Amino acid sequence: MKQLVAIRMDRCIGCHSCSLACARVVHKCLSWENAGIRILSSGGLSTGFLAKVCLACNPAPCAAACPTGSLKQRKGGGVTQLKKLCIQCGKCVAACPVDAIAQDRQDRPYVCIHCGSCVEFCPHDCLEMVEVQA
């Protein structure tokens, strides 16, 4: 079982290629916000960048908070998402301790599903798929 880990964020140059890739490949839209990984400056560009991304909690508080089972516990940590069950209640967003779930203007949640689609678009190898025990 593999998990996405933002393992070398001190190398990040703030190009947003990972977020754009997640939106483009996974969520089929053009966005730097509606994505499972989002890049923020950690207090202006002079202080580097942070990734807001799922830390693969096990058990995952967002899955526990989801009233419909749209988010379910993923083996080894994190969640799987079944979008058609989502009622846009925002409980998962509130439950995430690290603010890793984005919500768009229609209240739809975006969470990393650890698919690794973003990894190949990072020019500085900040991101890695790491093997974990399921």
- Give 63 or 93: the residue with its C-beta nearer to another protein: 93
Query: Which of 24, 58 has the CB closer to another protein?
Result: 24
Identify which of residues 128 and 132 has a Cβ nearer to another protein in the complex. 128
Exposed/middle/buried for 9, CB within 10 Å: 0-12, 13-18, 19+? middle
CB of 110 to another protein, least distance (A): 9
Contact, 36 vs 113, CB < 8 A? yes
Which residues in this chain contact another protein in the complex, by CB under 8 A? Answer: 13-17, 20, 23-25, 28-34, 38-41, 43-46, 48-49, 104-105, 121, 123-124
Give the residue with the Cβ less far from another protein, 49 or 111: 49
Cα separation, 61 vs 82, in Å, equals: 17
Task: List Cα–Cα distances, 10 to 7, 47, 89, in angstroms.
Answer: 9, 10, 34
- Alpha carbon distance 87, 122 (integer Å): 33
CB of 88 to another protein, least distance (A): 15
